[in-house]
């Protein structure tokens, strides 16, 4: 172990379950093994989005987020199962129970992936030996395959685990970065999605090497402080520790306000909720979190205070989505008495780059429909000012200011 990782470096594993939902279904029903299998929305109505699929299905052209009818056209023999989220959560707990047998330093990153710091686990064997033991136990105890990346930090371990699937084990050292990582398109780097890649391409950053050597001021002008962090990652720098408490703490982000006067006027209360939603959304984005649980606090004139929360079907971060969830909670729980204070909190937070949204046809299509409208509104507001286009609540507030 010390020979592998000299001085005071770390040895980090990233354990990534292969096609997790599909693998769980196969483990429960062995007759599915070897067949093209997809996990999707409403299979009976031939509606839904492919959440994940087996490697047999992928070889035939089926992809995640593809509409089910299209996947069926490409692969007529495709077997479809609807998601069983409760089952997946239970299996996830069993997976992390196995990982904690090898090290106390285990950090879940999502339902089907996590980091394991094995720096002090020399007595178990070499990093490769430990990775093989983990793979073997997950297969024997749960019948689930995984890929494992071995590296001196979390970022490189994550990149390594993606390199050989299914059932791969990959070592990625810092000295390997120029030959292994730098030639890759920037969109293949962990933490970079299509929107970020498009922004980087506008400043001629097309590969991970381009990002590693990019001008930091230029990066900050395009991506803010996140640009500097991405450049560090491209150079193999990641100082984050494997933190077992990170998932357990489940931080929350919220905002509240005492109203200038107690009111029962619903439009005013909605306007306050919308403004609070914008603040919560901005803080979530700044700290790079998404939320799957929205809470609303209502304090009445007599100082009685209630807090109600709602678990959502998907992760959200946009102000309009937070507002819709908060408004629904408010209407369901407001007793009609004068309100003195309102608050909104995002709970059960997940880091943006680890969030996995299980898309149904509805959520996928709704997001696709919203995107052109969002882009058009942003363009008009940038060109003509933020007051050119307003939401209903914003317009209401403007009208209130004009009233004598």
Place of tokens 């994550």: 158
Active-site option among 25, 113, 268, 278: 113
Q: Which residues are annotated as a binding site for Mg(2+)?
A: 16, 112
Q: What pLDDT shows up at residue 395?
A: 46
Domain-located, residue 274: yes
Residue 107 sits in the same domain as residue 89: yes
Residue 265 sits in the same domain as residue 333: yes
Give me 276's structure tokens.
């609070």
| Burial zone of 373 (CB within 10 Å; 0-12 exposed, 13-18 middle, 19+ buried) | exposed
* Three-class SS state of 404: coil
List the alpha helices (DSSP H) in 185-341: 194-202, 208-212, 216-223, 225-234, 245-249, 266-287, 319-333
Contact yes or no for 107/121 (Cβ under 8 A)? no
| Domain-ending residue, one of 172, 206, 223 | 172
Domain-located, residue 240: no
Residue 139 sits in the same domain as residue 15: yes
| Domain-ending residue, one of 172, 189, 211 | 172
Catalytic annotation present for 113: yes
Average pLDDT, the chain: 85
pLDDT in tens, 352-403: 765 543 434 344 444 444 545 555 655 565 555 555 555 444 444 444 444 4
Q: What pLDDT shows up at residue 398?
A: 45
Residue 126 sits in the same domain as residue 187: no
Range of the domain at 16: 1-172
Domain-located, residue 43: yes
What integer is the mean pLDDT of 67-82?
92
Residue 155 sits in the same domain as residue 184: no
Report CA Rg, the chain.
24
Domain-located, residue 224: yes
pLDDT in tens, 125-177: 999 999 999 999 999 999 999 999 999 999 999 999 999 999 999 999 999 99
Looking at the structure of the chain, the number of domains it has is: 4
Residue 346 sits in the same domain as residue 383: no
* Three-class SS state of 85: helix
Residue 254 sits in the same domain as residue 373: no
pLDDT in tens, 188-230: 999 898 889 999 999 999 999 999 999 999 999 999 888 999 9
pLDDT in tens, 22-61: 999 999 999 999 999 999 876 554 457 888 999 999 999 9
Domain-located, residue 40: yes
Beta strands in 234-393 (DSSP E): 253-263, 289-300, 305-316, 339-347, 350-351
Look up the CATH number of the domain holding residue 140.
3.30.70.270
Residue 223 sits in the same domain as residue 332: no
Residue 204 sits in the same domain as residue 131: no
Domain-located, residue 125: yes
Residue 165 sits in the same domain as residue 218: no
Residue 168 sits in the same domain as residue 221: no
């Amino acid at each position: 172990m010390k020979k592998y990782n000299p001085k005071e470096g770390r040895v980090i594993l990233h354990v990534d379950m292969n096609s997790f939902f599909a693998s769980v279904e196969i483990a429960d029903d062995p007759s599915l093994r070897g067949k093209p299998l997809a996990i999707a929305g409403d299979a009976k109505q031939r509606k839904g989005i492919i959440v994940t699929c087996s490697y047999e299905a992928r070889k035939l052209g089926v992809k995640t987020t593809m509409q089910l009818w299209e996947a069926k056209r490409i692969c007529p023999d495709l077997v479809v199962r609807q998601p069983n989220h409760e089952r997946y959560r239970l299996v996830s707990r069993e997976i992390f129970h196995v990982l904690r047998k090898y090290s106390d330093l285990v950090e879940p990153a999502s339902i089907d992936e996590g980091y394991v710091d094995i720096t002090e686990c020399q007595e178990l064997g070499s990093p490769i030996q430990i990775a093989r033991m983990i793979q073997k136990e997950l297969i024997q105890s749960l019948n689930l395959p995984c890929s494992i990346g071995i590296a001196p930090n979390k970022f490189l371990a994550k990149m390594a685990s993606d390199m050989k699937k299914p059932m791969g084990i990959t070592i990625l050292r810092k000295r390997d970065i120029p030959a292994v990582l730098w030639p890759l398109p920037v969109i293949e780097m962990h933490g970079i999605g299509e929107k970020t890649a498009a922004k980087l391409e506008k400043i001629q950053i097309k590969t991970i090497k381009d990002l590693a050597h990019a001008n930091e001021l230029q990066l900050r002008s395009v991506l803010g402080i996140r640009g500097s962090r991405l450049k560090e990652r491209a150079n193999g720098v990641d100082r984050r520790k494997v933190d077992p408490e990170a998932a357990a703490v489940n931080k929350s982000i919220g905002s509240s306000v005492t109203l200038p006067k107690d009111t029962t006027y619903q439009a005013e209360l909605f306007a306050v909720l919308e403004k609070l939603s914008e603040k919560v959304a901005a803080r979530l984005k700044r700290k790079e979190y998404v939320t799957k649980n929205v809470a609303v606090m209502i304090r009445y004139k007599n100082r009685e205070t209630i807090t109600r929360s709602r678990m959502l079907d998907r992760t959200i971060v946009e102000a309009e989505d937070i507002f819709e969830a908060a408004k629904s909670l408010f209407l369901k729980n407001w007793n009609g008495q004068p309100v003195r204070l309102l608050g909104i909190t995002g709970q059960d937070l997940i880091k943006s780059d680890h969030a996995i949204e299980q898309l149904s046809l509805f959520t996928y299509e709704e997001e696709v429909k919203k995107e052109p409208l969002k882009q058009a509104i942003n363009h008009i507001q940038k060109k003509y000012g933020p007051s050119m286009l307003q939401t209903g609540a914003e317009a209401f507030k403007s009208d209130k200011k004009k009233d004598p």
